Structure 1
Amino acid sequence: MSQDFTFTVRSVAFDEDYRPAEDTRTTTNFANLARGERRRENLRNALTMIDNRFNSLAQWDNPNGDRYALELEIVTGEVQVGAEERQHRFPAIEVLKTTIVDQQAGKRLAGMVGNNFSSYVRDYDFSVRLAEHNRDRAEFGLPEGFGDLHGQLFRRFIDSEAYRGIAGKPPVICLSVSSSKQYRRTDNHHPVLGVEYQNDDASLTDFYFGKMGLEVRYFMPPNGVAPLAFYFAGDLLTDYTTLELISAVSTMESFQKIYRPEIYNANSPAGPCYRPSLEHADYSLTRVVYDREERSRLGVEQGKFAEEHFIKPYRHVFERWSANGAVDQSRNKVAFS
């Protein structure tokens, strides 16, 4: 592995006392929830939603529906490029680590790592580079090598000793389905993930996460109203325990109810053919305040921050990765052993 870079990780508890660090992406969903006069109530309500959903899915030996609680940590993967830059680390990737607390057995169990995903470089790709590429084009297109750098950063982070020090398995990222695509229900049903949906027309997010070595499957969990997109390496259904899968569903379905209530807190479930829409009017709001407009507005600013402080200063290193064939388009999965 190249010595052009090293990774370190730092983490902070996501609880009702959470306050974003100064270099946290201001559009990150967690930072958005942790502001304002009602920040503690906001955070407490979100965490309660997650615990309640976990217990509703883990029903066995849980008659009162309160056996389990989830502890959440926001994990930041920082990258240092070049040995001469020892004092500068760029916060490249952010994921969410869960720990399952079995309050009946008095045990703490590893939950899913991944869940949420945020990245300054992804902001740059989508809010700056992609926008500039298509500004004067009659038809939408992708810049050459779109997603290659981000894909390499992610792969290298997951292969690093820093990541392996906090997780024994590759991450699973759980996102909203695309509002520009249609999904059809299949006969496949998983006891935790629920009924599987398929999409024959890959979204741009599917393409982008493919550069990260991840493939996607769509499942609508029991008593859910819309499928979630699960991005993973390996075998989603056999590589993770039942409780690990429940930790991902309960965490990210709860967040999606807050972020996209039109889809995930709709008052009627998805049918056999489903096209999600943020224009859907028949939905309920949670008791958690979330500023979606602010998140969109700040994406451009954060993309430009990445360009100025990471993309441009280390362009020579990234060009060397490309020249050495660092991005292997035929590689479909993240290596992990």
Structure 2
Amino acid sequence: MHPETSDASVPDLILDGRPFTRAEGRDHALDAKQIRRLLRIGLLRSVVRGVYVDALVEDSLPLRAAAIAKVAPPDAVACRRTAAWLLGIDTLALSEHADTPKADFVRQTKARAVKISRANGHSQTLFPGDVIDWYGLQITSPMATAVHLARHLRRPFALSALDAMARAGLITRVEVQDAIRRYPHHPGIVQARELAALIDPAAESPGESWLRLRMIDAGFPAPVPQIEITDGVNGYRIDLGFLDSIPGTADRHLGLEYDSDKWHGTPEKQREDSVRRTRLGRLGWDILPVGRWQVWGEDTALEDSVGKILGLVPRSRRW
């Protein structure tokens, strides 16, 4: 597998590039020890818990569906985070990127929740039209998926998932609000109503959604995502901005930018950010960079700093 190649050859793919379980691996003389070794040296990757594929195979929605089908009970429907993932939406919590989560399933009937070691079984209401065929797999529809994510995920991850689904054109705010009315007394419906009203397809990353929710939960006006600024020559976009002028100024505004570790962690990128924010300052925008630790930590310094600039007293943190 993966032999040295020449211009005239192509490396063989493990199990021809098909996703497979450990049991299927054994059928092809690939035992658990060999799978662990191939994972460790980067020749295999885990698609979903208990399902693997050659590392050279590109990620795709059909591949994801084929992988989930390997662990899906015949009478179950992929739902919640798994359904979102199959639709191309990442809903993982920060810590879960280090591990492959279990798949989420619900039964179409009123039978007991799915029980399988490699999956999370759920009991939830499925209305007519809530189940669709997706690359040969039964999954909850985008709208049903959005409603159940809004009900059951932690607030920040629920909102970032809803924003991403709206940005992808899978849902709209009004549609989700209408759909939520079908669940008047279901668990989590109060949170779902609150978050549905905040859906904004302009948010371009989970970090922006989390930061926006942090500001809203602090009692500040909802900052506007992706504000476009130009100096007549160059164009700029600010992750989040408050459109009202900063109190005590003629026409200065506060902008917030979520500096992720991945995209803003290098010295070169930090220098670029500094130059860009200096230019935005000349255009009337005071930019406050915000790191992940400020959004997720227990320290209230972020809310205190923003509140001081806006002349507002922040509410206590909700998450």
TM superposition score category, shorter chain reference: under 0.3
TM-score (norm 2): 0.26
More strand by share: 1
TM-score (norm 1): 0.25
More helix by share: 2
Identify which of structures 1 and 2 has the higher relative contact order when contacts are C-alpha pairs closer than 8 Å and 6+ apart.
Answer: 1
Rg larger for: 2
